[in-house]
Amino acid sequence: MGKFNFIKTPIQGLFIIEPKVFQDKRGYFMESYNYRDFNGTGLDMCFVQDNQSKSTKGVLRGLHFQRNHSQGKLVRVIKGKVFDVAVDLRKSSETFGKWYGCILSEENKRQLYIPEKFAHGFLVLSEKAEFIYKCTDFYYPEEECGIIWNDPDINILWPLDNINEVILSEKDKSLSSFKEYINGLEGCP
């Protein structure tokens, strides 16, 4: 068995990645990324930037993407639990406008690889969560775009049962709709 289990999702190029965890009474060890293993599965990307965020329960970040410098992202949670979502924005894709979501947590140690040309967001389900991700391109503030988290056409089924309030940044409150994105506004401020 390899160091990772690569699980295909219903959206081409979007993978759940389960690392092999070596655990004993001292704790655990795992690799979170290995170029040879990823490349052997066809995930031949180069990461140029790592990011980390900390958020409280109910915080929803997204749905974000960059207009001309699209970023592939390898995302995971090192503390807490989130519902992580990717939306296919590849106009030539059979799954254009479709979303996929999964739970990422410090317990399950799962990761999600989100290819370029996807919008990405997550909702914090635990009291606090620390979220880290690797990116295939740098962050360019002038290229930042997004689609509103509760867009009716995308219709993401966010797990809001135990969330008293969805907490958004001012920027995320004013993101465009999916229809506006399709019509050329690209969800940009």
> Which residues are marked as active site?
64, 133
Q: Where are the beta strands (DSSP E) in the chain?
A: 4-8, 15-19, 22-24, 27-29, 49-56, 60-66, 73-79, 81-88, 99-105, 111-114, 118-124, 128-135, 144-146
Distance from C-alpha of 108 to C-alpha of 128, rounded to nearest angstrom? 16
Distance from C-alpha of 11 to C-alpha of 28, rounded to nearest angstrom? 31
Distance from C-alpha of 70 to C-alpha of 14, rounded to nearest angstrom? 15
Rounded to 5°, angle at Cα 57 from 104 and 106: 30
In terms of residues, how long is the chain? 189
Decide if 102 contacts 24 (C-beta within 8 A). Answer: no
